[in-house]
């Protein structure tokens, strides 16, 4: 019997997961490698960070997803080398290094935050890319408010209750809005010793929030954010970051102990392992088939890739792009195995949306229909509930939302700190950023 | 205006929490100090460790509990010294040391695991006393099963899938039963590469499980545990513990990577700070009024205390004892303030119960009515749901239980590792054990 082709998928995010699903019950053996044992529904990370949801509400064990699919195997590990000549990858697991051979490789490791050369900012910044990040931000937020409640110095109280969010994309808006509501609608009721109000400041280097949106929605988002109470500072870069303050481009100093960084991402460092010239943001240039240019039988999908559409614009780093590319990579690999011809990527774009807080959101459905306020917020809720993986998670998120909406409470307000991971001696996320060919 | 008496309560467990509740809206100012910002419903810790519940399901923010009670203040910190002469305590907080004066002190810091002199066991043992312990045990259990799935050596697979629980009390039984069900009813379905079955072994030094129970219930518990599939080894102490095996008193070696320690507890190290002779297990001897013998205006309640009943038997380290002593301490302090006489402790004992797994339990209602099996299990479920704090937590636990019962699933199967706490430079739990006067 001929051995089935072996496909290794690196990364169980949206791209890798949809690739693996498209390979389920097909005449191949697939190995899905991830550093976590779960898939994370990243659009709701900010709700974990702001005490509205439990971590497990937005995480789904990868093994459960493929319980019925005997040809999809999963391995908990960190890929530390790709040998594209010998067609094998080296994986750091709990039990040391493993060499795993492949016939086809799909790289779907996404992106990591970038500080645009100011790596010194990282030491004082909180990120929101992984479930651990979200729990860490939750612990930080609750701890700073506790400190403020007992501080004797008013300057210190001000710094402890001032939160700066950098980045005017959807994550920045959602995080700023949710932190504002958490502080001023939930926590402040429980600090009776003094009148604690939080200041939430959103800083964006560009002249607009939500750069890819049409002007009416950009303006609506700004107005909604300001009506909530968030201060917005546009066209100002950060020039200096310290533990207790930041400095803006115009020399203004903002005392703060909490800097949330959602200003930009670059490709996952794994892009470096293929020794090909990288595109902007360290991204892997791929062909329209999702095959990496210059590397046979290596496919890449999602945030880590660079591909231009018919107008010469790069596809955005969005979940639907990753999902659709993941499916296409799997189909093109199956076609290659069968000797059929492969298909080019064609993006089915259903639009973009961002939420700002309770009953506040903007949406641009099919990039044609603009929605704002209550309607956009309902559309956002429905979409996120429906796309969440697993009935139990959907039910739990729905009940938490109903609970939080009617009680003005946030359920998950515990500061739960844990021991350091003994799993990865040298996590990839702290590696130096990749060399980029601009 | 005369200043209101100031009462400091150390510990927001069952004893401290009930003391604070009894002081709510009374003409005193109370300060509740805890190392965590939440109260933990410890009887369900083993369900967090075995993926059935989320950490936040059994944790409740202390500030929320006392939102309406302006005379109850809360402080996140670790008490590192008690000056009973000057009547003040020193508290390590995020912002350094604080001195807090008191008129009355209530000590309710509970107990910590003890290794009966074999402190070398601790390095390889997992405990189940705090919410962090539970998450750590969950991560450990899931990680070992993942390792077993990819191990090539059958001896290693055996060690990775063997779990030893030490201690035949309720926690030991509940944990052993729940781990057995998690492995063999839930996880094993998802490891299709090989037939992975877990061996769960409960080791108890005494000739019986559940020492305080009547003989019929002890035997019923043993029979139910064995019918589930758990191996029970009685009358054997541990003599040696290593990372990959343990050795019993009869020389038997059991290969295992997972040792759960629930064999015994001693009083919290805080008992040492009062410079009084301690009783068995490092416990603080108290008068029937709950006042610490020899220390004026210092009260102690719950696991940290030693008090004998009319028959000369020490009150057990059980939650209802802590709750009732907490209320009594608060009432006696209020009486002392008013110049009224204080009351002695009288334990209202509603019985004891332990669950073993799905539809398996034993209960001894009012220490008269024995229940076993399905009826005891239903009684256990109902009692724990009703005594859980907060409607949202009750609803969430109820829904999770229903879900897990009907789907044979465990919802919270994520390995979520985080950064080390930067909060406490030197956590009290790793301090050397107290000197005990036996």
* Sequence spans of domains, chain A: 6-35+77-113+265-349, 119-263+351-407
- Choose among B63, B98, B417: nearest Cβ to A421: B417
Distance of CA A404 to the CA centre of its chain: 23
What is the rounded distance in angstroms from the CA atom of residue B161 to the CA atom of residue B143?
Answer: 11
The rounded percent of chain A whose pLDDT value lies above 70 is 95
- Write the CB contacts of A346 (distance below 8 Å, at least 6 apart in sequence): none
Write the burial class of residue B403 (CB in 10 Å: 0-12 exposed, 13-18 middle, 19+ buried).
middle
Tokens coding B138: 């969950």
pTM for the structure as a whole: 0.90
Residue at token pair 């920045």: A172
Residue with tokens 């810790």: B45
Chain A CB contacts of B399 under 8 Å are 395-396, 399
Q: Could you give the 3-state DSSP secondary structure of residue B189?
A: helix
Q: Which positions of chain B have pLDDT values less than 50? A: 419-438
Instruction: Name the residue among B109, B87, B343, B372 with its Cα closest to residue B224.
Output: B372
- Look at residues B339, B306, B342 and name the one whose alpha carbon lies nearest to residue B321: B306
Helix, strand or coil, per DSSP, at residue A88: strand
Model confidence band, residue A193 (pLDDT cutoffs 50, 70, 90): low
How near does any CA of chain A get to the CA of B62, in Å?
9
Whether the CB-CB separation of A328 and A343 falls below 8 Å is answered with yes
Instruction: State yes or no: pLDDT of A430 exceeds 90.
Output: no
Q: Which residues of A touch B420 (CB under 8 A)?
A: 417-420
* pLDDT for position A48: 93
Of residues A438 and B338, more confidence is placed in B338
- What average pLDDT score do residues A126-144 get? 93
Name the closest residue on chain A to residue B189, using Cα atoms.
A67
Chain A residues with beta carbon closer than 8 angstroms to that of B192: 70
Q: Is the distance from CB of B102 to CB of B7 less than 8 angstroms?
A: yes
Tokens of B351: 């019985």
Nearest CA in chain B to A130: B416
Cβ atoms of A216 and A98 within 8 Å: the answer is: no
Per CATH, the number for A6-35+77-113+265-349 is 3.50.50.60
Amino acid B193: pLDDT? 65
Collect all residues with Cβ–Cβ distance below 8 Å to A2 and sequence separation of at least 6. Answer: none
Integer Cα distance of B94 and A243 in angstroms:
14
- Exposure b/e, B286-298, CB count within 10 A at least 16 = b: bebbbbbbebebb
Q: For the residues A207-215, what does the mean pLDDT come to?
A: 92
Q: Do B94 and A70 touch (CB under 8 A)?
A: no
Taking an 8 Å cut-off on Cβ atoms, the answer to whether B37 and A147 are in contact is no
Looking at A77-153, list the stretches that DSSP marks H as alpha helix, in order from N- to C-terminal side.
131-150
Nearest to A19 by CA among A28, A9, A27, A29: A9
Determine, for residues B412 and A56 on separate chains, whether the beta-carbon distance falls below 8 Å: yes
| Spatial separation of the C-alpha atoms in residues B42 and B387, rounded to whole Å | 11
Q: Alpha carbon of B28 to those of A205, B23, B334: distances in Å?
A: 52, 7, 8
pLDDT (0 to 100) of residue A126 = 96
DSSP one-letter string for B15-40: HHHHHHHHHTTSSSEEEEEESSSEEE
Dig out the tokens for B328 from the structure: 């009594």
Do the two domains A6-35+77-113+265-349 and A119-263+351-407 of this chain adopt the same fold? Answer: yes
Query: B92 CB contacts (<8 Å, ≥6 apart)?
Result: B77, B78, B79, B80, B424, B425
Q: Which of B29, B174, B291, B331 is catalytic?
A: B174
Decide: helix, strand or coil at residue A151.
coil
Question: Looking at chain A, which residue has its C-alpha nearest residue B399?
Answer: A396
The DSSP secondary-structure symbol of B64 reads H
d(CA A145, CA A189): 12
Of B61, B413, B417, the CB nearest to A414: B61
CATH number at B119-263+352-407: 3.50.50.100
Count of beta carbons in the 10 Å neighbourhood of residue A370 = 16
Alpha carbon of A36: minimum distance to chain B alpha carbons (Å): 7
Chains A and B: how many Cβ contacts under 8 Å?
A: 146
Structure-token match 């220490």, residue found: B367
pLDDT at A425: 38
CATH topology of domain A119-263+351-407: FAD/NAD(P)-binding domain (3.50.50)
- What does the alpha-carbon distance between residue B250 and residue B247 come to, in Å, rounded to a whole number? 8
Work out the average pLDDT over A9-30. 97
pLDDT the model gives residue A247: 97
pLDDT of residue A1: 55
Candidates A65, A124, A150, A398: best to mutate against B (most CBs of B within 10 A) is A150
What the block records as the tokens of A29 is 């053996």
- Spatial separation of the C-alpha atoms in residues A375 and A254, rounded to whole Å: 35
Instruction: Average the pLDDT over each of A306-310, A361-365, A377-381, B420-424 and give the range with the smallest value.
Output: B420-424
What is the token pair recorded at A124? 């004082």
- Catalytic, B174? Answer yes
Q: Which residue has the tokens 């513990």?
A: B241
How many angstroms separate the CA of residue A371 from the nearest CA in chain B?
A: 33
B416 φ/ψ angles, rounded to the nearest 5 degrees = -115, 100
Residue B385's Cα: distance from chain center in Å?
17
Phi, psi values for residue B334, rounded to 5°: -60, -40
Structural tokens at position B177: 């039963």
ipTM field: 0.87
């Amino acid at each position: 019997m001929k051995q089935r082709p072996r496909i290794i998928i690196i990364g169980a995010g949206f791209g890798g997961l949809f690739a693996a699903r498209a390979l389920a019950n097909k005449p191949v053996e697939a190995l899905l490698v991830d550093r976590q044992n779960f898939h994370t529904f990243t659009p709701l990370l900010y709700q974990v960070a702001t005490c509205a949801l439990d971590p497990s509400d937005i995480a789904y064990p990868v093994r459960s997803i493929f319980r019925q699919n005997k040809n999809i195997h999963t391995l908990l590990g960190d890929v530390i080398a790709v040998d594209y000549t010998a067609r094998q990858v080296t994986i750091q697991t709990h039990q040391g290094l493993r060499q795993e051979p492949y016939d086809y490789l799909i790289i779907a490791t996404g992106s990591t935050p970038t500080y645009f050369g100011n790596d010194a900012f990282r030491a004082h910044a909180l990120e929101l890319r992984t479930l651990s990040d979200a729990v860490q931000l939750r612990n930080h937020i609750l701890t700073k408010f506790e400190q403020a409640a007992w501080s004797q110095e008013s300057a210190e109280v001000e710094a402890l209750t001032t939160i700066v969010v950098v980045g005017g994309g959807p994550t920045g808006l959602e995080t700023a809005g949710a932190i504002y509501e958490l502080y001023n609608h939930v926590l402040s009721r429980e600090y009776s010793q003094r009148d604690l109000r939080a200041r939430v400041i959103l800083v964006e280097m560009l002249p607009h929030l939500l750069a890819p949106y049409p002007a009416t929605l950009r303006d609506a988002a700004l107005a909604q954010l300001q009506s909530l109470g968030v201060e917005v500072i546009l066209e100002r870069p950060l020039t200096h970051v310290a533990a207790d303050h930041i400095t803006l481009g115009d020399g203004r100093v903002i005392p703060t102990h909490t800097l949330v960084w959602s200003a930009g991402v670059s490709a996952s460092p794994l892009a470096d392992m293929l020794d090909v010239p990288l595109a902007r943001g360290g991204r892997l240039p791929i062909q329209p088939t999702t095959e990496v240019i210059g590397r046979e039988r290596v496919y890449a999908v999602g945030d880590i890739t660079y591909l231009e559409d018919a107008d010469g614009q790069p596809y955005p780093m969005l979940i639907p792009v990753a999902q659709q590319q993941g499916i296409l990579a799997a189909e093109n690999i199956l076609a290659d195995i069968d000797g059929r011809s492969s298909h080019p990527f064609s993006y089915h774009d259903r639009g973009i949306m961002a939420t700002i807080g309770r009953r506040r959101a903007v949406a641009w459905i099919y990039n044609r229909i603009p929605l704002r306020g209550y309607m956009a917020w309902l559309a956002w809720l429905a979409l996120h509930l429906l796309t969440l993986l697993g009935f139990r998670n959907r039910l739990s998120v729905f009940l938490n939302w109903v609970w939080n909406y009617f009680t003005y409470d946030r359920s998950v307000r515990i500061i739960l700190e844990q021991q350091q991971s003994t799993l990865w001696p040298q996590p990839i996320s702290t590696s130096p950023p990749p060399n980029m060919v601009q």
